[in-house]
């Protein structure tokens, strides 16, 4: 699908004027935005030209840590700027406690993420929690300021008001995205919208079922008002992005609410599947520095090595995966490597090979590496993963610009292959509006891309829910879906599925079910007496 304009070097740079910070987040008492520097909200919102800059800040908040390059003037005080960026924090919580990833670093809190033994004082869990509510607070303020009443009172022209209303709908999508992450990761969380009074107060806690209903109603209301699929600036939300988010909610609805919503999954995906997206012909190109050209990516988090510098996000995903002898064999487009992440043997064994043949998705670095992770802190224990690389498809070299650790790889938060897999799973779980024959065609389309021919194709007799879970790992490993997938299948906690270091022992062991949810940060419980901790913590 053709994107109308690229966000890189254009849209993100629009954050230059309006840079805001927050004092107190989530359950804390002060949820107001305060002006950073010389600007007040009255000055900012009086000028229509500033609106796009505030919106750009919200999108950039998924990628960057603050207001001055890769570090400096961070959005959230008391947090390491690299570790606390939105995508890096989200990725860790979705991948490190699973069979897909493990990290060698011993920063306090990482070892217990690796082993699914974390507690409520884990700083990496808190980083994600505070990022979520930072984003929500930005969105609430923006939505409040762009009410029809406020636009009228400022004398904004009707043409500009129409544009402002689109910005407002995009902000509602971004808020729904962050509330969805809160729903999935934490369950019962503080809840604030633009309707709440401005000022210091203790936000009330909302239960998981009610939060699900709120996000659902927001997305259903927003979708008709967003730009049609593929018609917005690159990396801005459109109808397809909102439908993908809604489909993901419906796919996991039984976990969140106790009710199955598989027919609704298919209904939303049918709209996406007919919106003009197509599979990227070469799987590896999905994770290169020029993946903004891909016809498959529906909604990315955008990065640029010059204008979106961050020690989190794609910079983390590229650099932290490089170690051992990897640089002797492959080009990564960065000067070094951080010797952090590998995968666990259970994932390696899902593929027919380890060198990208016959399945291109199964490409691992094995030289001087052993498959078993005897020592978590030893990078050579566990195979390296070759996925995110800061090179271009034409040259297989880094993009133009100065050599640095920072990268231009966009993270594909939603892409067409995931829609294919979700469709197939929803059909197999009994959803109406789709067919098993179509599901089989979608799965074989992914496998034909991976194998380069039809040799990897499966028959209808092979298509079952266990196969889909494994195929999701093969297709989407390291794309921040695994924890949610395992929970949906009842295999994240408990003893139904064991992997190395699950539960804190090499051979793996059963883990209590309460760990399907992360704990609310202890500091927030102290700050807000209305909050109750998730059971088990």
Give the whole-angstrom CA distance, residue 351 versus residue 354: 7
Q: Is residue 311 part of a domain?
A: yes
The pLDDT of residue 199: 72
Q: pLDDT tens-digit profile of 394-448?
A: 988 888 777 889 999 999 999 999 999 999 999 999 999 999 999 999 999 999 9
| CB 167 within 8 Å of CB 146 | yes
Cα–Cα distances (Å) from 112 to 83, 126, 299, in that order, read 16, 14, 31
Residue 1: both structure tokens together: 């699908």
Q: Is residue 212 part of a domain?
A: no
| CB 122 within 8 Å of CB 185 | no
The pLDDT of residue 10: 45
pTM: 0.94
Q: What's the start-to-end Cα distance of the chain, in Å? A: 46
106 shares its domain with 187: yes
327 shares its domain with 442: no
477 shares its domain with 510: no
Give the whole-angstrom CA distance, residue 229 versus residue 418: 16
CA 260 to chain centre: 23
Q: Taking the alpha carbons of 388, 370, 483, 486 in that order, is the dihedral positive or negative?
A: positive
Q: Per-block average pLDDT, block size 10, for the chain (537 residues)?
A: 45 44 38 48 92 96 78 71 88 99 97 98 97 97 98 97 99 99 99 87 96 99 98 98 99 99 99 99 98 98 87 94 96 96 99 98 98 99 98 87 88 99 99 99 99 98 99 99 99 99 99 99 95 98
Give the whole-angstrom CA distance, residue 427 versus residue 433: 8
Query: Facing residues of 34 across strands?
Result: 21
| CB 238 within 8 Å of CB 229 | yes
| CB 410 within 8 Å of CB 314 | yes
CA 34 to chain centre: 27
280 shares its domain with 424: yes
The one-character DSSP state at 392 is -
Cα–Cα distances (Å) from 252 to 4, 247, 270, 346, in that order, read 32, 9, 18, 24
- Compute the chain's Rg from CA coordinates: 22
Query: Facing residues of 414 across strands?
Result: 299
The one-character DSSP state at 312 is S
Q: Where are the alpha helices (DSSP H) in 299-391?
A: 313-319, 345-348
Looking up tokens 């993420």 gives 113
Cα–Cα distances (Å) from 365 to 309, 328, 329, 404, in that order, read 27, 11, 9, 23
**Counting Cβ atoms within 10 Å, is residue 356 exposed (0-12), middle (13-18) or buried (19+)?**
middle
The pLDDT of residue 1: 52
57 shares its domain with 165: yes
Looking up tokens 């291109």 gives 360
334 shares its domain with 453: no
User: Which residues, at least 6 apart from 42, have a Cβ–Cβ distance to it below 8 Å?
Assistant: none
Closest C-alpha among 10, 62, 60, 406 to residue 234: 10
Q: Is residue 217 part of a domain?
A: no
The last residue of a domain, from among 409, 437, 458: 409
Closest C-alpha among 259, 226, 256 to residue 244: 226
Q: Taking the alpha carbons of 112, 116, 122, 124 in that order, is the dihedral positive or negative?
A: positive
342 shares its domain with 477: no
376 shares its domain with 236: no
Number of domains in the chain: 3
Residue 232: both structure tokens together: 């917005």
The last residue of a domain, from among 363, 381, 409: 409
Give the whole-angstrom CA distance, residue 307 versus residue 310: 9
The pLDDT of residue 36: 44
| CB 304 within 8 Å of CB 325 | no
Q: Is residue 481 part of a domain?
A: yes
The pLDDT of residue 511: 99
Relative to beta strand 33-35, strand 341-342 is unpaired
Residue 266: both structure tokens together: 């298919």
Cα–Cα distances (Å) from 437 to 244, 427, 443, 445, in that order, read 22, 10, 10, 12
285 shares its domain with 348: no
Cα–Cα distances (Å) from 319 to 74, 114, 166, 271, 334, in that order, read 22, 19, 37, 37, 7
328 shares its domain with 458: no
CA 355 to chain centre: 27
296 shares its domain with 319: no
Domain region containing 183: 1-206+496-537
Give the whole-angstrom CA distance, residue 167 versus residue 347: 41
Instruction: Read off φ and ψ for residue 431, nearest 5 degrees.
Output: -70, 145
Q: Is residue 219 part of a domain?
A: no
Ranges of beta strands (E only) in 125-215 are: 189-190, 205-206
Count Cβ atoms below 10 Å from residue 455 Cβ, excluding itself: 10
The pLDDT of residue 38: 55
Count Cβ atoms below 10 Å from residue 13 Cβ, excluding itself: 16
Q: pLDDT tens-digit profile of 306-341?
A: 887 788 899 999 999 999 999 999 999 999 999 999
Three-state secondary structure call for residue 4? coil
Q: Is residue 6 part of a domain?
A: yes
| CATH code, domain carrying 422 | 1.25.40.10
- Which of 251-287 are b and which e, b meaning 16 or more Cβ less than 10 Å from the residue's Cβ? bbbebbbeebbbbbbbbbbbbbbebebebbeebbbbb
Q: Is residue 216 part of a domain?
A: no
| CATH code, domain carrying 117 | 1.25.40.390
Relative to beta strand 20-22, strand 102-103 is unpaired
Q: Is residue 213 part of a domain?
A: no
Ranges of beta strands (E only) in 38-132 are: 102-103
39 shares its domain with 144: yes
């Amino acid at each position: 699908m053709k994107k109308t304009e690229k966000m890189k070097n254009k849209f993100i740079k629009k954050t230059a004027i309006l840079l805001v910070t927050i004092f107190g987040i989530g359950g804390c008492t002060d949820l107001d935005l305060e002006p950073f520097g010389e600007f007040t909200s009255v000055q900012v919102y009086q000028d229509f030209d500033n609106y796009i800059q505030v919106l750009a800040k919200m999108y950039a908040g998924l990628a960057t840590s603050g207001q001055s390059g890769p570090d400096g003037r961070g959005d959230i005080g008391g947090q390491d700027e690299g570790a606390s960026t939105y995508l890096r924090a989200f990725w860790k919580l979705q991948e490190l406690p699973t069979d897909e990833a493990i990290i060698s670093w011993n920063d306090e809190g990482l070892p217990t993420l690796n082993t699914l033994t974390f507690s409520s004082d884990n700083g990496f869990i808190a980083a994600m929690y505070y990022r979520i509510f930072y984003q929500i607070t930005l969105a609430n303020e923006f939505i409040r300021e762009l009410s029809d009443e406020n636009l009228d009172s400022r004398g904004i022209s009707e043409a500009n008001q129409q544009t402002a209303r689109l910005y407002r709908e995009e902000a509602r999508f971004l808020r729904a995205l962050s509330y969805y992450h809160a729903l999935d990761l934490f369950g019962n969380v503080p809840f604030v919208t633009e309707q709440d009074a401005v000022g210091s107060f203790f936000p009330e806690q909302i239960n998981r079922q009610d939060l699900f209903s709120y996000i659902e109603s927001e997305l259903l209301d927003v979708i008709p008002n967003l730009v049609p699929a593929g018609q917005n600036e690159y990396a801005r939300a459109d109808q397809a992005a909102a439908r993908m988010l809604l489909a993901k909610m419906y796919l996991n609805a039984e976990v969140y609410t106790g009710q199955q919503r598989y027919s609704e999954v298919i209904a939303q995906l049918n709209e996406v599947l007919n919106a003009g997206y197509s599979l990227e012909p070469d799987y590896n190109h999905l994770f290169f520095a020029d993946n903004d050209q891909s016809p498959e990516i529906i909604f990315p988090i955008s990065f640029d090595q010059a204008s979106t510098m961050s020690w989190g996000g794609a910079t983390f995903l590229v650099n932290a995966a490089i170690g051992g002898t990897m640089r002797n064999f492959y080009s990564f487009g960065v000067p070094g490597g951080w010797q952090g992440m590998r995968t666990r043997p259970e994932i390696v064994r899902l593929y027919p090979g380890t060198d990208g043949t016959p399945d291109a998705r199964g490409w691992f670095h094995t030289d001087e590496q052993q498959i078993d992770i005897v020592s978590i802190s030893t990078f050579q224990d566990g195979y390296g993963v070759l996925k995110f690389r800061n090179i271009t498809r034409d040259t297989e070299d880094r993009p133009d610009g100065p050599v640095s650790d920072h990268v231009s790889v966009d993270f594909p938060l939603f892409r067409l292959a995931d829609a294919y897999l979700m469709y197939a799973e929803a059909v197999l779980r009994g959803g109406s509006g789709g067919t098993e024959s179509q599901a089989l065609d979608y799965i074989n389309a992914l496998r034909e891309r991976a194998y380069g021919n039809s040799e990897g194709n499966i028959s209808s007799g092979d298509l079952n829910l266990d196969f889909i879970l494994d195929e999701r790992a093969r297709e989407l490993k390291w794309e921040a879906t695994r924890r949610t997938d395992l929970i949906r299948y009842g295999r994240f906690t408990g003893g139904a599925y064991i992997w190395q270091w699950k539960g804190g022992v090499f051979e793996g062991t059963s883990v209590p079910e309460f760990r399907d949810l992360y704990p609310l940060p202890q500091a927030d419980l102290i700050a807000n007496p209305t909050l109750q901790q998730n059971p088990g913590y």
